[in-house]
């Protein structure tokens, strides 16, 4: 049995459950932080240190910090959060969405695990330079498309934030 | 000796060493402040007041531990821990010397030389903000929340130029491993300068040091705890050893940041124009490289104190303006020029 995997997998799932069940918004955010850290530990286990580091830097270090920033600006976020959590239609919608995602994941997992287990790791797998080579040689188009997508999001955010440009 | 024992000795050594430096730094800060302001500072406990940190420690430990009635107890306790934990773990990838050969076994003076080296430092640096946010939020106090808010915005803004300056350095050396970067800084650059990062990345260093001061919440960027505006910011409600942990974590942070500056921009353990390895024995070389490295680190630690008591605090909009309007464009330009220079010369 792979003890390392189980420790962090259980940690991630437990923290995820805590995130969606906690009444305190900041506790929820810290639960999400734990999920991100547990996931990055799992990436390390999969010989992908670069992905693990990015997981922590970008998700935990930037995105979640922004979410927390918004939480701190809300007036009595606890009560608002409670109102949202107790709203029946939100609950039903969230449930349906969550269950369908779970189904999708379960369907995908089998295929992906077959694919990964059949492969042996190439020399120097997970090294940053190999990662860069792959991204800027084989997947350059994808990279550029994503960067344009991000630019669109950026312009959209500015448009939404500033009424008269 | 097997590798596990060596690894544990290294971890314990660097941990105790950093703690010791942090303790001495509290004394240096107070005496340095006194020197700059032309007064004496603490000089009663022991010679030159050297036992003052000890006395402070005893005071903090024996004080009553107060948790405000309306604070969130768990998060209140968690705050200082979240703050000091990343500070302590970041040192794991920073070297503190070259290598020492004992009984034919070569020991690298670094806890772990990983190939994503300083990305790890960046990742942990971005974690430190949670200690401040959680502490500020859990205190249930307006000043604390304001301090937490300011700290969040400031850290997010300055992480970008910080990371970009680091990236430019990584481009120059072609590696993320801090040990390889250190080794690459031996010899001379352009024939007469020591081959240090600062001569290859002068703008990069400037950006890095400004952003580092902001990341460490030091003057002139100590807006999160600006006592003239918001009492003590995120640690207004903290007392006893919990406050001690916050203050201590800050000094450990300074230690890591100074070590990082030395590693990336000031030739790590190399002396200019002098190859110590050529004429020193294997053990004395190890010790000498550690001492040279630490000498440089202590200069930057002193610089933190020096700046703190010399430069006045910024206004908050100035901090944000400097971050987004000057540092980030400069960092991007620096990255672009560096990449262009490498492309043209290689």
How confident is the model over A11-38, as a mean pLDDT? 86
Contact at CB, B145 and A30, closer than 8 angstroms: no
Query: ipTM beyond 0.90?
Result: no
Residue B116 at interface with chain A, using a CB cutoff of 8 Å: yes
Contact at CB, A57 and B115, closer than 8 angstroms: no
Residue A73 at interface with chain B, using a CB cutoff of 8 Å: yes
pLDDT reported for residue A149: 94
Contact at CB, B149 and A127, closer than 8 angstroms: no
Residue scoring higher pLDDT (A93 or B314): A93
Residue scoring higher pLDDT (A144 or B57): A144
CB-CB neighbors (< 8 A) of B133 in chain A: 26, 65, 68, 72
Count of CB atoms situated within 10 Å of the CB of B214: 25
How confident is the model over A124-150, as a mean pLDDT? 84
Q: Which pair of tokens denotes residue B21?
A: 């430096």
How confident is the model over A64-90, as a mean pLDDT? 75
Residue of B150, B132, B152 lying closest to B238 (CA atoms): B132
CB-CB neighbors (< 8 A) of B134 in chain A: 26, 30
Domain boundaries, chain A: 3-124, 127-165
Q: pLDDT class for A50, splitting at 50, 70, 90?
A: confident
Residue of B159, B162, B163, B131 lying closest to B147 (CA atoms): B131
Contact at CB, A61 and B159, closer than 8 angstroms: yes
As a whole number of angstroms, the distance between CA A65 and CA B151 comes to: 11
CA distances from A153 to A60, A160, B61, B164 (A): 20, 10, 51, 22
pLDDT reported for residue A100: 92
As a whole number of angstroms, the distance between CA B271 and CA B261 comes to: 15
How confident is the model over A16-40, as a mean pLDDT? 86
Per the CB < 8 A criterion, the answer to whether A29 and A68 are in contact is yes
Per the CB < 8 A criterion, the answer to whether B216 and B162 are in contact is no
* Environment class of B307 (CB within 10 Å of its CB; exposed 0-12, middle 13-18, buried 19+): middle
pLDDT reported for residue A118: 65
Residue B148 at interface with chain A, using a CB cutoff of 8 Å: yes
In this prediction the pTM is 0.81
Q: List the 164-183 stretch of B: residues with Cβ below 8 A of A.
A: 176
Q: pLDDT class for A151, splitting at 50, 70, 90?
A: very high
Residue A26 at interface with chain B, using a CB cutoff of 8 Å: yes
Contact at CB, A65 and B156, closer than 8 angstroms: yes
User: What is the pLDDT tens value at each position of chain B, 346 positions in all?
Assistant: 577 787 788 888 888 888 888 888 888 888 888 888 888 878 887 788 788 888 888 888 888 887 778 777 788 888 888 888 887 787 777 787 777 777 667 777 777 777 777 778 888 877 878 888 888 888 878 888 888 888 888 888 888 888 888 888 888 887 788 888 887 777 777 667 777 777 888 888 888 888 888 887 777 777 777 777 777 777 777 777 788 888 888 888 888 888 888 888 887 777 777 777 777 777 777 788 888 888 888 888 888 888 888 888 888 888 888 888 888 899 899 889 888 888 888 7
pLDDT reported for residue B1: 58
What is the least distance, in Å, from the CA of A101 to any CA of chain B? 29
Chain-centroid distance of CA A93 in Å reads 21
CB-CB neighbors (< 8 A) of A127 in chain B: 115
As a whole number of angstroms, the distance between CA B266 and CA B196 comes to: 5
Q: List the 272-301 stretch of B: residues with Cβ below 8 A of A.
A: none
pLDDT reported for residue B52: 83
Q: Dihedrals φ, ψ of A127, to 5°? A: -75, 140
CB-CB neighbors (< 8 A) of B136 in chain A: 72
Contact at CB, B152 and A56, closer than 8 angstroms: no
Residue A78: pLDDT over 70: no
Contact at CB, A61 and B116, closer than 8 angstroms: no
Contact at CB, B127 and A27, closer than 8 angstroms: no
CATH number of the A3-124 domain: 1.20.120.1200
DSSP per residue, A67-105:
HHHHHHHSSSHHHHHHHHHH-HHHHHHHHHHHHHHHHHH
What is the least distance, in Å, from the CA of B20 to any CA of chain A? 29
Residue B135 at interface with chain A, using a CB cutoff of 8 Å: no
CB-CB neighbors (< 8 A) of B129 in chain A: 61, 65
pLDDT digit string, tens, across residues B24-58: 888 888 888 888 888 887 888 778 878 888 888 88
What lies within 8 Å, CB to CB, of B225 at 6+ separation is B147, B217, B232, B233, B234, B235
The beta-carbon neighbor of B123 closest among A30, A61, A128 is A61
Residue scoring higher pLDDT (B103 or A26): A26
Q: Dihedrals φ, ψ of B271, to 5°? A: -90, 145
As a whole number of angstroms, the distance between CA A79 and CA A21 comes to: 15
């Amino acid at each position: 049995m792979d003890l390392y995997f189980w420790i962090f997998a259980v940690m991630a799932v437990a923290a995820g459950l805590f995130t969606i069940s906690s009444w305190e918004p900041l506790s929820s955010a810290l639960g999400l932080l734990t999920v991100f850290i547990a996931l990055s530990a799992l990436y390390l286990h999969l010989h992908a240190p670069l992905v693990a580091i990015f997981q922590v830097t970008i998700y935990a270090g930037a995105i979640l910090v922004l979410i927390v920033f918004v939480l701190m600006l809300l007036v009595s976020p606890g009560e608002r959060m409670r109102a949202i959590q107790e709203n029946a239609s939100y609950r039903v919608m969230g449930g349906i969405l969550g269950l369908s995602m779970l189904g999708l994941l379960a369907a995908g997992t089998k295929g992906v695990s077959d694919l990964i287990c059949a492969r042996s790791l190439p020399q120097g797998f997970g090294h940053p330079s190999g990662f860069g080579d792959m991204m800027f040689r084989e997947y350059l188009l994808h990279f550029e498309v994503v960067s344009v997508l991000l630019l669109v999001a950026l312009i959209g955010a500015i448009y939404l934030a500033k009424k008269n440009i | 000796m097997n590798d596990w024992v060596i690894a544990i000795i290294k971890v314990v050594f660097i941990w105790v060493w950093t703690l010791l430096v942090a303790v001495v730094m509290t004394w240096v800060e107070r005496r340095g402040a006194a020197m700059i302001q032309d007064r004496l500072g603490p000089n009663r406990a022991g010679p030159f007041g050297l036992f003052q940190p000890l006395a402070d420690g005893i005071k903090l430990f024996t004080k009553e531990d107060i948790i405000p009635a309306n604070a969130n107890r768990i998060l209140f306790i968690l705050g200082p821990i979240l703050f000091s934990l990343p500070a302590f773990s970041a040192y794991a990838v920073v070297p503190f010397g070259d290598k020492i050969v004992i009984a034919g076994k070569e020991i690298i003076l670094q806890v772990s030389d990983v190939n994503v080296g300083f990305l790890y430092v960046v990742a942990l640096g971005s974690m430190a903000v949670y200690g401040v946010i959680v502490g500020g939020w859990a205190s249930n106090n307006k000043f604390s929340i304001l301090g937490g808010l300011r700290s969040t915005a400031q850290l997010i803004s300055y992480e970008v130029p910080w990371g970009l300056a680091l990236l430019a350095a990584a481009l120059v050396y072609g590696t993320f491993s801090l040990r390889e970067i250190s080794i690459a800084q031996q010899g001379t650059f352009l024939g007469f300068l020591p081959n240090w990062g600062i001569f290859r990345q002068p703008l990069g260093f400037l950006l890095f040091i400004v952003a580092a001061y902001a990341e460490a919440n030091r003057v002139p960027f100590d807006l999160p705890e600006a006592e003239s505006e918001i009492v003590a910011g995120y640690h207004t409600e903290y007392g006893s050893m919990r406050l001690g942990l916050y203050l201590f974590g800050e000094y450990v942070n300074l230690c890591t940041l100074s070590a990082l500056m030395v590693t990336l921009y000031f030739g790590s353990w190399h002396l200019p124009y002098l190859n110590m390895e050529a004429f020193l024995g294997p053990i004395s070389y190890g010790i000498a490289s550690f001492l040279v490295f630490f000498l440089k680190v202590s200069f930057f630690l002193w610089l933190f104190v020096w700046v703190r008591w010399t430069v006045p605090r910024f206004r908050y909009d100035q901090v944000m303006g400097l971050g987004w309007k000057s540092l980030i464009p400069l960092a991007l330009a620096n990255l672009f020029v560096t990449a262009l220079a490498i492309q043209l010369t290689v």
